[in-house]
Amino acid sequence: MEIRTNRIKQKLANGDVAYVVGGLTNADDIDAFGPNGFDGVWLEGEHGNVDATNLGNLTRACDLWGMTSVVRVNRNDQALIYRTLDCGAMGIVVPHVNTKAEAQNVVDGGKFAPIGHRGMFTSRQGYGVNNYFTTANSQTLLVVLIEDIAAINNLDEILTVEHIDVFFVAPSDLAASMGYIGNHQHPDVQNTIDDALASIQEAGRVAGTLALDDTVEKYVKAGVQFLLVGVGGWISAGAAAYKQRAENAKNNT
């Protein structure tokens, strides 16, 4: 048995764009979405119900389609990070990483020695893999969220931390930290996001952000490689269009 390839890490290493979908809350939804060819699924453990009790089934569904399971945990805690990996996640997203020390803590919890201090346990991804402890680090994805103005101010130092795969600029919390609650479209916020994404790439690191239908082209042209989109907007738009077609047909009869 060979360790599974982390599809997102592979695409990023090749300089390609990685497509990640959020908003899928159970294994059946992941199965239904699987044929669409995305690279990863963002499983929500900060604002959603993802935890150790359901991670096995969620990550198995991702495995069936070759998609990387990426779990956002709710705090920067080493034990929580490696327990989440032990339960089958192939990637970790850590919120509110505002300093170099906090970024290093993510690495310490997410990587086995000699890189980090992850507890020595063969995760579900390691069953039957004889050399798991020597190969797991190469297939474990680490993402830190740059979502506070404090992180922006410390970004140059944060970017010096090795073994972090993606520095993800998160718009909504960043806007709130800048005094623009619920208004991430404010020019000050957008300029801050654009500057941060550019700085990440200038440092030779991988940038990620939320990229919706109306912004995905902008961010791809800007060099962003890790693109997150939620299914909620697509569902709402599709539902509204369907109802509108029905109403138009009714009014034209």
Both tokens of 100, joined, read: 């170099």
CA-to-CA distance for 103 and 4, rounded, in angstroms? 26
47 is catalytic: yes
CA-to-CA distance for 45 and 42, rounded, in angstroms? 9
Both tokens of 248, joined, read: 């138009």
CA-to-CA distance for 37 and 34, rounded, in angstroms? 6
Select which of 47, 96, 117, 186 is catalytic: 47
95-119 in b/e burial notation, b at 16+ Cβ within 10 A? Answer: bbbbebebbbbbbbbbbbeeebbbe
| Short-list 164, 161, 180, CA closest to 172 | 180
Report the DSSP beta bridge partners of residue 192: none
CA-to-CA distance for 17 and 216, rounded, in angstroms? 11
Active site residues: 47
